[in-house]
């Protein structure tokens, strides 16, 4: 059975359950109008009885019963407030029309007050469009009487108007109703403004907290990048040095396995750190001349070891039109995409094989469109999971991580990297029938003659004319750089922290300084600023190249602000480092000298 809600006689408790200030104001206005209306009706009943005004008495009694019912409804549940607002405004219209055409047959102060109260309450309490309609209906009788002409305004009670002193008391109570209603709405408006100001203040604090959290996250990632990439730099660099002159075939194979594992670990670190940069839209593509045939061969050589471990066949199928036709693109990001796709394919394939294919889809004088595809004979993916697997930290099923491992970031990074190239990844797969991931890239052809590139690659690497200072706190990296530079016929000087680097730069003459960013005593940024403040112009203007494993989104800005000219990221590419240093070597005699900003390394 229907159970009526209990009446709430505590208006304060009643209002406390409404969180919105304007909604509270509407309820307060309703209580005000109802309260004053009941008071006026009790007054009207008393005066009309004494004066034997039976029409006024009957009208007042009917209205009293209606208002008592409305008051009870409002006390029982605030959800009736809108319905009560409609009824009150309708009753106000009844009073206006009956006064204008039945009791007063004109307009008096009370009628004008009722018109004003209906207009006020209709706009305060009703939806905007309905408020306009009610307000319009309240003024129609006044407009009609004005148009009709004649002495339509009565300043004193006449005819069937409520007798004195009830009439005067009614006028006073109407004014009080108008004043209190306006005050309540103004109070709610001021309260709402204060709430918004408090919310804005909390929002500002939240934004500042988010900025601090973002900076903390960036600092953490930068530190983690440095801590992870610094030892990787030594491992990859040493393996490359040893691969230049292995003692036998077995050692060469072992070194390739070591190098592959280090590169894979580096790729995983890049995935995690680059995902953050992709999320912040801070990753940009490089434009470097790349031989796709050579690049994909190098990638597949590393992947074949992993495939062979699982008894799988990894094949690379590159169309002849791609071989020997270098393109301008970002080899690091293409490698990342293929490593992730092919690595996933090997991971989720138990038998059969994985195929990497490159096909020319179209080509003109300047550009070529190549379709990259990675196909496997693995477990496959159901169609309802196709979209989800490209989301970060999502895999096809809950058992995937348990059975196969993985961070769940690989395909999310692939999707975002491919979009950076202006393309989309397509997937064809079904459970038990393997998968095919493909995407098309339109790349600019490199028209530089092949002979010229071959001549450049065969040049003898020589930096004997350069006096180099390396500021590096990691002993293994110092040993690696010493061995690398010995191949380039130069022996660098070393400083183990920023303070020592400043002292050596002030007391000795160097052609270039390689400056690590994270060092004890004084970091690389501050050391670079101190060197730029040296009084000797020749020493203060020495080219400084940052040697960093940081992934800070504003790394380039911070390096420039510190007065450094360029940067090389760890693990560094030895050819890239050589090209930057050779560029300095060929421009060393210019004054004032400035290092041209080169593309970041692979």
Averaged pLDDT for residues 486-509: 92
pLDDT tens digits along 240-268: 767 766 677 777 767 766 766 676 677 66
Which of 480-489, 496-505, 550-559 has the highest average model confidence (pLDDT)? Answer: 496-505
Check the CA dihedral 191-197-203-209 and report its sign: negative
Q: What radius of gyration do the chain's Cα atoms show?
A: 42
- Asked if the model's pLDDT at residue 11 lies above 70, the reply is no
pLDDT tens digits along 297-309: 878 877 887 788 7
pLDDT tens digits along 540-554: 999 999 987 665 556
- Asked if the model's pLDDT at residue 166 lies above 80, the reply is no
pLDDT tens digits along 359-387: 999 988 889 999 999 999 988 888 878 77
**CATH code assigned to 461-586:** 3.40.50.2300
- Asked if the model's pLDDT at residue 65 lies above 70, the reply is yes
**CB-hemisphere CA count at 13 Å for 469?**
28
Pick the closest to residue 474 from 581, 576, 570, 575 (CA basis). 570
Query: Options 2.40.50.140, 1.10.150.20, 3.30.565.10, 1.10.3720.10; which CATH number does 287-447 get?
Result: 3.30.565.10
Q: What is the pLDDT of residue 324?
A: 81
For residue 380, the surrounding DSSP H or E stretch is none
Same-fold call for 287-447 versus 461-586: no
Q: What is the pLDDT of residue 452?
A: 46
- Asked if the model's pLDDT at residue 343 lies above 80, the reply is yes
- Asked if the model's pLDDT at residue 420 lies above 70, the reply is yes
Confidence band, pLDDT 50/70/90 cuts, at residue 270: low
The more confident residue out of 486 and 272 is 486
* Contacts by 311-316, CB closer than 8 A, 24 or more apart: 311/351, 312/346, 312/349, 312/351, 312/352, 312/353, 312/354, 313/352, 313/353, 313/354, 314/342, 314/346, 314/353, 314/354, 314/355, 314/356, 315/353, 315/354, 315/355, 315/356, 316/355, 316/356
Averaged pLDDT for residues 57-73: 83
- Asked if the model's pLDDT at residue 405 lies above 50, the reply is no
All structural domains of the chain with their residue ranges: 11-200, 287-447, 461-586
Please enumerate in sequence order all residues whose Cβ is within 8 A of that of 256, keeping only pairs 6 or more positions apart, or say none: 243, 301, 302, 305
Averaged pLDDT for residues 447-474: 70
Confidence band, pLDDT 50/70/90 cuts, at residue 83: confident
pLDDT averaged over every residue in the chain? 78
Confidence band, pLDDT 50/70/90 cuts, at residue 508: very high
- Asked if the model's pLDDT at residue 507 lies above 90, the reply is yes
Burial of 601 (0-12, 13-18, 19+ CB in 10 A): buried
Averaged pLDDT for residues 49-64: 80
Confidence band, pLDDT 50/70/90 cuts, at residue 443: very high
- Asked if the model's pLDDT at residue 178 lies above 50, the reply is yes
Confidence band, pLDDT 50/70/90 cuts, at residue 441: very high
């Amino acid at each position: 059975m229907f159970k009526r809600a209990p009446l709430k006689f505590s208006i304060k408790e009643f209002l406390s359950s409404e969180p919105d200030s304007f909604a509270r104001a509407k309820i307060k206005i309703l209580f005000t109008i109802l309260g004053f209306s009941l008071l006026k009706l009790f007054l009207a009943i008393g005066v009309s009885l004494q004066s034997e005004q039976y029409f006024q008495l009957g009208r007042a009694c009917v209205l009293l019963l209606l208002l008592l019912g409305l008051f009870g409804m409002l006390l029982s549940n605030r959800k009736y407030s809108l319905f009560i607002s409609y009824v009150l405004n309708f009753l106000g219209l009844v009073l206006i029309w009956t006064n204008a055409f039945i009791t007063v047959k004109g307009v008096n102060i009370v009628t004008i007050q009722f018109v004003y109260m209906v207009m006020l309450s209709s706009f305060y309490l009703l939806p905007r469009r309905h408020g306009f309609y009610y307000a319009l209906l309240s003024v129609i009788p006044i407009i009609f009487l004005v148009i009709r002409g004649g002495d339509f305004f009565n300043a004193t009670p006449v005819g069937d108007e409520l007798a004195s002193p009830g009439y005067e008391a009614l006028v006073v109570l109407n004014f009080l109703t108008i004043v209190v209603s306006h005050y309540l709405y103004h109070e709610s408006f001021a309260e709402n403004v204060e709430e918004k100001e408090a919310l804005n203040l909390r929002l500002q604090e939240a934004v500042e907290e988010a900025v601090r959290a973002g900076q903390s996250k960036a600092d953490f990632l930068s530190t983690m990048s440095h801590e992870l990439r610094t030892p990787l730099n030594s491992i990859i660099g040493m393996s490359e040095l040893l691969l230049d002159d292995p003692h036998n075939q077995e050692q060469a194979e072992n070194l390739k396995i070591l190098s592959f594992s280090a590169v894979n670990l580096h790729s995983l670190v890049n995935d995690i750190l680059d995902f953050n940069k992709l999320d912040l839209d801070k990753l940009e593509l490089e434009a470097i001349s790349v031989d796709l045939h050579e690049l994909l061969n190098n990638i597949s050589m590393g992947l074949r070891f992993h495939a062979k471990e699982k008894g799988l066949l990894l094949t690379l199928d590159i169309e002849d039109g791609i071989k020997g036709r270098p393109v301008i693109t970002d080899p690091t990001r293409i490698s990342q995409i293929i490593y992730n796709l092919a690595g996933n394919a090997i991971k989720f394939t138990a038998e059969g094989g994985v195929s990497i294919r490159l096909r020319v889809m179209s080509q003109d004088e300047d550009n070529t469109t190549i379709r990259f595809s990675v196909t496997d004979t693995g477990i496959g993916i159901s169609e309802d999971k196709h979209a989800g697997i490209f989301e970060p930290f999502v895999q096809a099923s809950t058992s995937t991580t348990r059975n196969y491992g993985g961070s769940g970031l690989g395909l999310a990074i692939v999707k975002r990297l491919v979009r950076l190239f202006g393309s989309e990844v397509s997937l064809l797969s079904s459970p038990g029938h393997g998968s095919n991931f493909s995407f098309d890239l339109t790349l600019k052809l490199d028209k530089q003659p092949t002979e010229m590139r071959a001549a450049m690659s065969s040049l003898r690497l020589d930096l004997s004319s350069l006096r180099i200072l390396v500021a590096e706190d990691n002993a293994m990296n110092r040993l690696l750089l010493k061995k690398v530079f010995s191949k380039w016929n130069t022996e660098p000087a070393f400083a183990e922290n920023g303070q020592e680097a400043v002292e050596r730069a002030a007391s000795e003459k160097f052609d270039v300084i390689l400056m690590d960013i994270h060092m004890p005593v004084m970091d690389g940024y501050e050391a670079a600023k101190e060197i730029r403040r040296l009084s000797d112009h020749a020493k203060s203007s020495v080219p400084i190249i940052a040697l960093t494993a940081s992934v800070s989104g504003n790394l380039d800005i911070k390096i420039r602000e510190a007065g450094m000219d360029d940067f090389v990221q760890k693990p560094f590419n030895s050819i890239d480092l050589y090209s930057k240093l050779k560029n300095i070597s060929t421009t060393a005699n210019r004054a004032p000298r400035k290092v041209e900003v080169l593309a970041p390394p692979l």
